[in-house]
A and B are shown apart, each in its own frame.
Chain A
Amino acid sequence: MISSVFDWLSTPANWEGDRGIISQTLTHLEYSLIALVCAALIAVPMGLYIGHTGRGRVVAVSIAGGFRAIPSLGVLFIAVLLLLPRLRGELAFALPSLIVLVILAIPPILSGVYAGIAEVDPAARDAAKGMGMTGSQVLWQVEVPNALPLMFSGMRSAMLQIIATATIAAVVGLGGLGRFLIDGQATRDYDEMAGGALLVAALALLVDFVFGLVQRFVVSPGLTKTA
């Protein structure tokens, strides 16, 4: 059984063409990155504000918790019913899927950012203020660099969830690695499904590894020892 899955994975024909593994992996990666960026654009400023000012913590906690509980499949179907008649072309499938992934990615990013900022050593913050730094200088020169490890771990867990969940976009006709799961299920092709699942897990690992490298590069060496 396992060997037939590897047969599927090692058949060159399955890798080539615009429905092949390479092309679907790139599509998957593309949706995932777009979703991550959109979620970060929303969640990072919110997290910075809440962490820096200490205001709205309750809001952040309830958004982080509440958004996690929103069932992705339900949101996907609601978004498709609402948007399909209003949008043209590919966007009509892509936007609903994007919404689902963004909702999914906001909680881990938001809690990573605000927890990172909030947990910065008060002594470091006081010292910075004592040196005469303004509020925004404290934020950008002290709090953000110190919060980077937790911010990164929030981003990484968001990306893992996005990559795993982007598979359900295939239900509404979008490309990506989910195609192998959905098409494999429709035709009871076990090898294709299992192969697709392995590819998703492999992609998630690879992306997480790359993020880990970036993190090592970006985060101050003084922090990595304790993080």
Chain B
Amino acid sequence: MRLWGVDLGELIELTLDHIYLAGVPLIVGLLLAIPLGWLAVQRKWLYGPLLAATGLMYTIPSLALFIILPGILGTQILDPLNVLVAMTVYTIALLTRTVADALQSVPDHVKQAATAMGYSPLRRLFAVDLPLGVPVIAAGMRVAAVSNVSIVSVAALVGVSQLGILFTAGFNRNAMGPILIGVVACLILATLFDAIILSVSKALTPWQTSRSGS
């Protein structure tokens, strides 16, 4: 089966690669951003430097990161790990601030009540602050997910297999079809990620019945 010069089997394979390269860093990045964001809120003097440092990571061009990481990680030049690490870096860059904002958005009286009930700071984080911060974190995750899907495609310039390969291949063959299919597939993927995050966020916050994410 072919669609506009793209083999459907290949399209599915590239899409799966793309999901893997954009999705895994989203989860790993969140898991790393939570302690960083928490630290920034807990230790006031760390807030500025930490957010500045993570913000700085977002200014590194993706192409540069894809090329330079093998030299730092000692990985193969075509190793998808380079892309996974790069995307994790961007996710952390976006989500550290989000997590810090989310934790700060929890009303003081709630925090005080939890502390008065004998919650340790760490237990309060997981039992109170994070669950209440879910809507804010989810909003940040949606931005990160959508931009991850777009940035991953740049890895086509270093030959890592994902939907962006359709851009370089189509362009080289002077064929618009594969490029358009790649763009549409990226858009669908981003919408899919967005919908998943939204529904997970809704499932985690049953008390929020009718409020939109942002």
Given A80-B171, A81-B176, A193-B67: A74 in contact with B58 (beta carbons within 8 A) = no
By the criterion CB–CB under 8 Å, are B71 and A200 in contact? no
As a 0/1 sequence over residues 123 to 165 of chain A, the CB contacts with chain B under 8 angstroms (1 = contact) are 0000000000000000000000000000000000000100111
From B5-13, B34-42, B178-186, the one touching the partner chain is B178-186
Closest partner residue, chain A, to B155 (CB atom): A73
B52 to chain A, nearest CB (A): 9
Using Cβ atoms and an 8 Å threshold, which residues of chain A touch B64? 167, 181, 193-194, 196-197, 200
Query: 8 Å CB contacts to A: which residues of B39-93?
Result: 56, 58-65, 67-68, 71
Count chain B residues whose beta carbon lies closer than 8 angstroms to a beta carbon of A: 42
From B104-112, B115-123, B142-150, B202-210, the one touching the partner chain is B142-150
Mostly helix, strand, loop or mixed at chain A's interface? helix
Count chain A residues whose beta carbon lies closer than 8 angstroms to a beta carbon of B: 37
Given A70-B186, A71-B167, A181-B61: A78 in contact with B176 (beta carbons within 8 A) = yes
Cα(A202)–Cα(B153), bound, Å: 24
By the criterion CB–CB under 8 Å, are A200 and B61 in contact? yes
From A31-39, A60-68, A219-227, the one touching the partner chain is A60-68
Query: 8 Å CB contacts to B: which residues of A191-222?
Result: 193-194, 196-197, 200-201, 204-205
Closest partner residue, chain B, to A163 (CB atom): B59
Q: A1 at the A/B interface (Cβ < 8 Å)?
A: yes
B160 to chain A, nearest CB (A): 13
As a 0/1 sequence over residues 152 to 175 of chain B, the CB contacts with chain A under 8 angstroms (1 = contact) are 011011100001101110110010
Cα(A71)–Cα(B183), bound, Å: 6
Using Cβ atoms and an 8 Å threshold, which residues of chain B touch A168? 61, 63, 154, 157
Query: 8 Å CB contacts to A: which residues of B4-29?
Result: none
By the criterion CB–CB under 8 Å, are A77 and B171 in contact? yes
A136 to chain B, nearest CB (A): 27
Cα(A66)–Cα(B167), bound, Å: 19
Q: A95 at the A/B interface (Cβ < 8 Å)?
A: no
Using Cβ atoms and an 8 Å threshold, which residues of chain B touch A178? 61, 63
Closest partner residue, chain A, to B59 (CB atom): A204
Mostly helix, strand, loop or mixed at chain B's interface? helix
Q: Name the residue among B56, B171, B174, B186 with the largest chain A CB count within 10 angstroms.
A: B171
Cα(A72)–Cα(B149), bound, Å: 11
A92 to chain B, nearest CB (A): 15
Using Cβ atoms and an 8 Å threshold, which residues of chain A touch B60? 164, 197, 200-201
Q: Name the residue among A70, A74, A184 with the largest chain B CB count within 10 angstroms.
A: A74
Query: 8 Å CB contacts to B: which residues of A28-50?
Result: none
Given A65-B142, A69-B146, A181-B64: A74 in contact with B59 (beta carbons within 8 A) = no
Cα(A201)–Cα(B71), bound, Å: 18
Using Cβ atoms and an 8 Å threshold, which residues of chain A touch B168? 77
Using Cβ atoms and an 8 Å threshold, which residues of chain B touch A190? 68, 71
Q: A171 at the A/B interface (Cβ < 8 Å)?
A: yes
Using Cβ atoms and an 8 Å threshold, which residues of chain B touch A171? 157
By the criterion CB–CB under 8 Å, are A1 and B143 in contact? no
Q: A75 at the A/B interface (Cβ < 8 Å)?
A: yes
By the criterion CB–CB under 8 Å, are B182 and A74 in contact? yes
Which residues on B are within 8 Å of A, measured CB to CB? 56, 58-65, 67-68, 71, 142-143, 146-147, 149-150, 153-154, 156-158, 163-164, 166-168, 170-171, 174, 176, 179-180, 182-183, 186-187, 190-191, 194, 214
Which residues on A are within 8 Å of B, measured CB to CB? 1, 61, 65-66, 68-75, 77-78, 80-81, 160, 163-165, 167-168, 171, 178, 181-182, 184-185, 190, 193-194, 196-197, 200-201, 204-205
